[in-house]
Amino acid sequence: MNSEPSWDLYRTFAAVLREGSLSGAARVLRITQPSVSRHIEALEQAVGGALFVRSQRGLSPTDRATALGPYAEELVATSAAFMRSASATVGEVAGTVRVSASEIVAVEHLPSMLAGIRQDHPQLAIELVASNALDDLLQRRADIAVRMVAPEQQALVATRAGSVTLGLHARQDYLARRGMPAAIDDLAGHDLIGPDTDTPGTRAVLNLLPELKRASFALRVDSDVVQLAAIRSGFGIGVCQVEIARRDPLLVRVLPQSLCRRTATLDRDARGPAQQCAMSCGL
């Protein structure tokens, strides 16, 4: 590499890698497709090798492009964070802040909170990313992240904001039709809603219900928002936050005492006497 490529080349490369085509990158960047093509050719000359292979299916990244991709994404994220930080005067509550939160938190909790913040600070613009992915704040993809697990990165500042209580719920008409389970073993005869793939979050919840396996679920979906919608529609029994379920008069909590006893046992085994009786996740 004889000279430092311009910033536009990095940004275009990241967009093509993300979108998988020149036309897709052009739409995202709001430039013409020939401009995107020229940027990629210039970057290929600068790095001394091909970055994409053109085929009937579109563009395929080379091994070189795959290796360089994370660095380009970090540059793009850092640039966005730079502009957000520069969008307000020091000491002023203004400019842009990017918040990342899980889907259920972004849909059910944050809108009312953000509305209040906006009223108090009308010069503040908020970018809300609703995703269950554990975005790395060190890569500048967000300024604030609301997560159910403690961050592993030591360089981050973490504050426990509270806790949410999880429980099994179903709609009244479903329980009227299928009957209220009297014990956890009775769940086997019901239409259950659960995760499709295994994640640390779902594993923590299902540890309380070892009887339930993936095959136990009549509806399998990883989105918490879709699971809640299925519970509200009367599909069957699923896990959702107790605080959210209380807002819907049609939802009924199922087997609260049985799960309470199990949680108390797990808490006692892990940390001594249980302080509360609930399935809880740190927020």
Q: Where are the domains of the chain?
A: 7-78, 87-146, 163-282
- Rounded to 5°, the CA angle 162-231-244 comes to 25
- Cα dihedral across residues 141, 146, 149, 154: positive or negative: positive
CB atoms within 10 A of CB 55: 8
Q: Which of 209, 244, 215 minimizes the C-alpha distance to 227?
A: 244
Q: Are 40 and 51 in contact (CB under 8 A)?
A: yes
According to DSSP, the β-strands at 279-282 and 163-171 are antiparallel
> Do 7-78 and 163-282 come out as alike in CATH topology?
no
One CATH from 3.40.190.10, 3.40.640.10, 3.40.1410.10, 3.40.462.40 for 87-146: 3.40.190.10
Q: Any idea which fold 163-282 has?
A: D-Maltodextrin-Binding Protein; domain 2 (3.40.190)
How far is residue 199's CA from residue 15's CA, in Å, rounded to a whole number? 29
- Residue 74 buriedness (CB in 10 A; 0-12 / 13-18 / 19+): middle
Q: What is the pTM of this model?
A: 0.61
- Which tokens hold the place of 226? 């879709």
Q: Element (H or E) spanning 115, and its range?
A: helix 110-120
Residue type, 242: V
DSSP state of 26: H
Question: Does domain 7-78 sit in CATH 3.40.50.970?
Answer: no
Q: Are 183 and 255 in contact (CB under 8 A)?
A: yes
Residue carrying structure tokens 């090798």: 49
According to DSSP, the β-strands at 144-146 and 95-101 are parallel
pLDDT 10s digit of each residue in the chain, 283 long? 456 788 889 889 999 998 888 998 999 898 999 999 999 999 998 888 899 988 777 788 999 999 999 888 888 877 877 776 776 666 677 788 888 888 899 999 999 999 999 999 888 889 898 887 766 565 667 888 888 777 766 667 778 887 888 889 999 999 999 999 998 889 999 999 988 887 666 666 667 677 777 888 999 998 889 999 999 999 999 988 999 999 999 999 999 876 665 554 444 443 433 222 233 333 3
- Is the backbone of residue 115 left (phi > 0), alpha (psi -120 to 50) or beta? alpha
